[in-house]
Amino acid sequence: MSDPVDRIIDSAKDGKSILKDRSVLHFTHIPNTIFHRDAEQEKVTQSLLPILKHAKPSNLLIYGKPGTGKTLVVKKVISKIQERVDQSEFPTKLIYTNAKNESTTTGLLISAGRQLGLDEKELPMTGLATGEVFKRLLDCIDKNNLNVIFVIDEIDYLAQLIARSHKDTMYQLTRANERLGRGSLALVGISNDLKFKEMLDARVISGLSEEEVVFANYDVDQLAKILDERIGEAFMPDSVEPQALSLCAAMAAKMHGDARRAIDLIRVAGEIAEREQADKVTARHVRDASQKIEENKEETALKSYPLHEKLVILAVMRAGGSSTGEIYTSYKNLCKATAQDPLSQRRVTQMLNEVEVSGLIDGRIVHQGMHGRTKKYKLTIPTETVKRAFKDDLSLEDVI
DNA sequence: ATTCCACAGGAAACAGTGGTCC
DNA sequence: GGACCACTGTTTCCTGTGGAAT
């Protein structure tokens, strides 16, 4: 019997690859043509165009579900504009941040500052008041006479952060030009959530949405066309069955027409097919890929939780379908078994809500009349997935 | 009609960490 | 070195809830 490691390496080396260029299937890849987005590209270009005439562009708000090509279009337009602008005479600067990656509003401003070239000394990560961080940012723009386009992806998260911290960062950002002597700052907000404006102050809304562009969801045919183009670049000729392509498009169309999801699916399906040394990617590979993506997502989410959240999830698993009170009792027992100090019931209720948002557990309010009101929780994923995700956590060894 | 249960969930306060600024 | 700041994670306190029981 040959060595299993050698056998796999040898077969991979000898087997012919059906994937030609997998980087094309990565989400950062910007394709040459962005299908079905001509009107949106025109609108975005129009509103940023004033910068070519040395004037301040309008603030712009872009809406659309994930995977509708919003970020792609913005990046393309800005890179084209940057090619045309005379940098020596009219220095333009693009700053891109994703609000989802920042846990605080100050963090977002500091990330912007770094991209403007401010170092740790000029703009420290911590210790400064938000107003001071903002002032240093504006000073930098003013001093260098910069014309900045500040793209904030997933701006709805920023709105949530602001709602939590009661700061007026967003208002200050939209009115930054009033404080700038030289240079300018234009905001491009990208949001997945059409209703996010409801969270904002009327003053901020008027400042932010001088122009708006809405990206519609892709339908099955449009997704199929996008996939066809990417497959042509990424795979060897005739290595993806038409049924596999159609299934990918159909599955992604069900998820509000998410092109990114469609591309992920075909990539993972391709990798599965390649591992099996199949000649072609089939519909079965796509179904396997879909299942694998889901499982990975759940396991990663479970693993990323802190210890007490994990204990709460285990408590829900043990007391499946029970009320908050019963779950709390189960949680306290788990704490005892793992030698942890239990947190308050209020905090555990809060954690249950947080976990519910992620979709791993499902909560339903039940009115029991004389027996009060409670919320009953149950796991939405198999208990096996939870056990698999937690098995490497040493502090949970005794309770799994 | 009123009472009562078993919580849900908002608000405020607090403790602790890790930093800057003067 | 003390005042100040941002932030996280938590506790404490409190009000609200809807239907069964009385």
> Any atom of strand C under 7 A from CB of A45?
no
The nt closest to A104 (CA vs C1′) is: C7
pLDDT at A358: 85
> Any atom of strand C under 7 A from CB of A367?
yes
Residues 6+ away with beta carbon under 8 Å from A289: A265, A266, A268, A269, A271, A272
Among protein residues, the one whose C-alpha sits closest to the C1' atom of C13 is A346
Q: What is the pLDDT of residues A221-251, one digit of tens each?
A: 999 999 999 999 999 999 999 999 999 999 9
Window from A8-17, A43-52, A205-214 with minimum mean pLDDT: A8-17
**Residue A347: which pLDDT band, with cuts at 50, 70 and 90?**
very high
**Residue A8: which pLDDT band, with cuts at 50, 70 and 90?**
low
Contact A22, A267 (CB under 8 A): yes
> Any atom of strand B under 7 A from CB of A375?
yes
**Residue A167: which pLDDT band, with cuts at 50, 70 and 90?**
low
Through-space separation of residue A216 CA and nucleotide B11 C1' in angstroms = 40
